[in-house]
Amino acid sequence: MSTVSLQQIMAARFRTSAHADSQTKQLMEVLGLSTKAAVARLAIGRSLSLGALPVEQVDAKGLEIPASSIFTQEDVAIWVGLILTHARVFGATAIDGMDTFRGFLRQHWHRGASLLYDDWKNSNEDFDSFISTLVKRRADLPDRPVGSGAAPRVKVEETPPTDQSNLLVRALAEIGVSAEVKGVLHGPRLSRYRVALRDVNQLDKLKRGLERLALAMSLQQHMPTLSAGDEARIVMIDVPRPRATWKSAGKQDLLDALKSVSPNGDQLVVCPGVDVIGKPLQFDLKSMPHLLVGGATGQGKSVCVHALLVSLIAKHSPASLRLALFDPKQVEFSVYANSRFLWQDKIAIGVPACREMIDDLVAEMDDRYRRLSELGVNNVGEAAKKGMHVPFIVACIDELADLVLQDRDIEQKIVRLAQLARAAGIHLILATQRPDAKTFSGLLRSNIPARIALTVQKASESQIILDDPGAEELLGAGDMIVKLSGTESSRAHGYFLSLADVESVVRK
Ligand SMILES: Nc1ncnc2c1ncn2[C@@H]1O[C@H](COP(=O)(O)OP(=O)(O)OP(=O)(O)O)[C@@H](O)[C@H]1O
């Protein structure tokens, strides 16, 4: 840190992530604080009391605030000392300049805001109990001696889920539905109650009353969902639980889910997550044949895309699969740099490079079509029987909007790929954080039948992604609705992969 002085830090401005920015604003209101900086100090302090920062990408899309409102001349040296010491004890990289300092501060703010927000939720949004949680918490100070071994993982305390059957029955009675709970199954984020209705004629009342049911159960803005049961008069009610009780499926769960899939097969099996009761969800991208992943910023789209790509890499070799990665925002795919799976051995970074790679992909498709017709076959599967072996190409575009809004010509080429590329063994995964008719036009929509929606802000955005509302009521953090052609849509929770997890599979 020798190259940066306290004066430079005080003259700088800092940003947190978009996600932490919105949590900071909410915490400001809750705590009656007048500046974001006051929450930032609490959040950074909260994070500094814990061990290693998670290896995750934290964007810098929050609003910028000056250092002079976070720190004062009197305490800046203490804060900087704490941040440097934390980085020295737990950081994988050293703080060697202003950029890395900014990165560490951003990550502490991001993690701390999220933990404070969880504290608020776990205090049932009650001001007094929230404050007493903050006051009473014993700092979980790092117990690792300076300079020893690998960074410890942050211990996430999981609260076991509680059975809310009695509350549910009372809440049902309040909306005029008389019922009995026959069983409960706690999934990763929701608890599934098997409920017997005394009178089937009350089903419509229950369907109409879900919002009031949420209110009666104090679920805040999160809605329970209803599905058909396995017997007469039985319905399933999935009730969202507080975040402290969630269990995330991770890399090992993803790899376990893929165990039944044969390697280098004639399939492109991808696993986005687990369903409401924790069962792995998987599908063959080859038969979809293209997929859109949409959701508001910070809701888990990138993590989801990584899970899809990791699924593919785990079951293929570079001889059977190549990834054409398009990164117009220049941030998302660096972990795949130098991977043997890259199509053309590079990632297309920035709009001009993406434009060029789209052209190359269209040329590759046309070339494959020419070779198919020479062999007198219709697709690469049949061609393989006649000795023409080509790898699948999965083209993944990180931010569709950044490409199509820049250049309508690119959109036409993507549409052409979506219409024709399947037979040539080329499949698309398109991601967008701006689900609207301008970026995901009717023509493109009709050719991208598989959809994954992460949390969005408005029902109209859910409608664009899924052709249905619902994604506006998801829980964030990788919560998703998966809609595949010809099947009912299903709720799932994404695998939570760190960049280190992704890297360990990519480097195989
Ligand atoms: N499956 C998951 N389980 C738990 N938390 C998750 C999961 N997926 C994402 N998150 C949380 O949400 C944060 C944002 O995820 P991610 O970076 O994938 O969002 P994004 O939608 O791609 O954001 P952006 O559009 O800004 O790039 C992560 O840092 C993590 O804290």
Mean pLDDT rounded to a whole number for the chain = 88
Burial code (b: 16+ CB inside 10 Å, e: under 16) for 92-101 equals eeebeeeebb
- In contact, 55 and 496? CB cutoff 8 Å: no
According to the model, what pLDDT value does residue 262 have?
A: 83
Task: Give the C-alpha separation, 484 to 228, whole Å.
Answer: 20
Of 294 and 99, the structure prediction assigns the larger pLDDT to 294
**57 Cβ below 6 A of ligand 1:** yes
**Residue 213 above 70 pLDDT?**
yes
pLDDT, tens digit (0-9, with 9 covering 90-100), for 312-354: 999 999 999 999 999 987 677 888 998 999 999 999 998 899 9
According to the model, what pLDDT value does residue 138 have?
A: 52
Task: Enumerate domains of the chain plus CATH numbers.
Answer: 6-136 (1.10.1220.160), 165-244 (3.30.980.40), 251-506 (3.40.50.300)
According to the model, what pLDDT value does residue 142 have?
A: 38
According to the model, what pLDDT value does residue 137 have?
A: 64
Q: Residue 346 region, left (φ>0) first, then alpha (ψ -120 to 50), else beta?
A: beta
DSSP string of 124-167? Answer: TT-HHHHHHHHHHPPP----SPTT-SSPPPPPPPPPPP---HHH
Region 11-26: what's the mean pLDDT?
A: 90
Consult the annotation and say whether 17 binds a ligand: no
**439 Cβ below 6 A of ligand 1:** no
pLDDT, tens digit (0-9, with 9 covering 90-100), for 165-188: 999 999 999 999 999 999 999 999
Region 342-370: what's the mean pLDDT?
A: 95
pLDDT, tens digit (0-9, with 9 covering 90-100), for 231-284: 889 999 999 998 888 998 999 999 999 998 888 678 999 999 999 999 999 999
According to the model, what pLDDT value does residue 264 have?
A: 66
Q: What is the token pair recorded at 249?
A: 């499926």
Locate tokens 């051995």: which residue? 345
Task: Give the C-alpha separation, 188 to 279, whole Å.
Answer: 10
331 Cα nearest atom in ligand 1: 27
495 Cα nearest atom in ligand 1: 1
- In contact, 23 and 8? CB cutoff 8 Å: no
Residue nearest to atom 11 of ligand 1 (CA): 477
Task: Give the C-alpha separation, 296 to 331, whole Å.
Answer: 17
pLDDT, tens digit (0-9, with 9 covering 90-100), for 49-85: 887 887 777 888 887 888 888 888 888 888 988 998 8
**102 Cβ below 6 A of ligand 1:** no
Q: What ranges make up the beta strands (E) of 41-121?
A: 64-66
Consult the annotation and say whether 300 binds a ligand: yes
**Residue 386 above 70 pLDDT?**
yes
Q: What ranges make up the beta strands (E) of 285-359?
A: 291-294, 321-327, 348-349
pLDDT, tens digit (0-9, with 9 covering 90-100), for 113-168: 998 988 888 777 877 778 777 776 654 443 333 333 333 333 444 678 889 999 99
**297 Cβ below 6 A of ligand 1:** yes
**478 Cβ below 6 A of ligand 1:** yes
CA of 58 to the centre of ligand 1 (A): 9
Region 23-35: what's the mean pLDDT?
A: 83
Name, in order, each residue with C-beta under 8 angstroms of 340's C-beta and a sequence gap of 6 or more: 318
- In contact, 480 and 452? CB cutoff 8 Å: yes
Burial code (b: 16+ CB inside 10 Å, e: under 16) for 46-83 equals bbbbbbbbebbebbbebeebebeebbeeeebeebbeeb
Of 302 and 91, the structure prediction assigns the larger pLDDT to 302
**433 Cβ below 6 A of ligand 1:** yes
Residue nearest to atom 15 of ligand 1 (CA): 300
- In contact, 383 and 372? CB cutoff 8 Å: yes
- In contact, 51 and 90? CB cutoff 8 Å: yes
- In contact, 219 and 466? CB cutoff 8 Å: no
Residue nearest to atom 16 of ligand 1 (CA): 300
According to the model, what pLDDT value does residue 172 have?
A: 96
**112 Cβ below 6 A of ligand 1:** no
- In contact, 432 and 326? CB cutoff 8 Å: no
| Of 308, 270, 313, 499, the residue nearest 397 (C-alpha) | 308
**425 Cβ below 6 A of ligand 1:** no
- Specify the range with the lowest mean pLDDT, choosing from 75-79, 299-303, 363-367: 75-79
Cis peptide before 289 (omega within 30 of 0): yes
pTM, to two decimals? 0.71
> Would you place residue 443 in the very low, low, confident or very high pLDDT band (cuts 50, 70, 90)?
confident
Consult the annotation and say whether 302 binds a ligand: yes
- In contact, 354 and 326? CB cutoff 8 Å: yes
CA of 272 to the centre of ligand 1 (A): 13
Task: Give the C-alpha separation, 210 to 227, whole Å.
Answer: 12
Task: Give the C-alpha separation, 353 to 294, whole Å.
Answer: 23
Region 366-384: what's the mean pLDDT?
A: 96
Residue nearest to atom 23 of ligand 1 (CA): 298
Q: What is the token pair recorded at 485?
A: 């052609």
Consult the annotation and say whether 7 binds a ligand: no
**339 Cβ below 6 A of ligand 1:** no
- In contact, 420 and 351? CB cutoff 8 Å: no
**432 Cβ below 6 A of ligand 1:** no
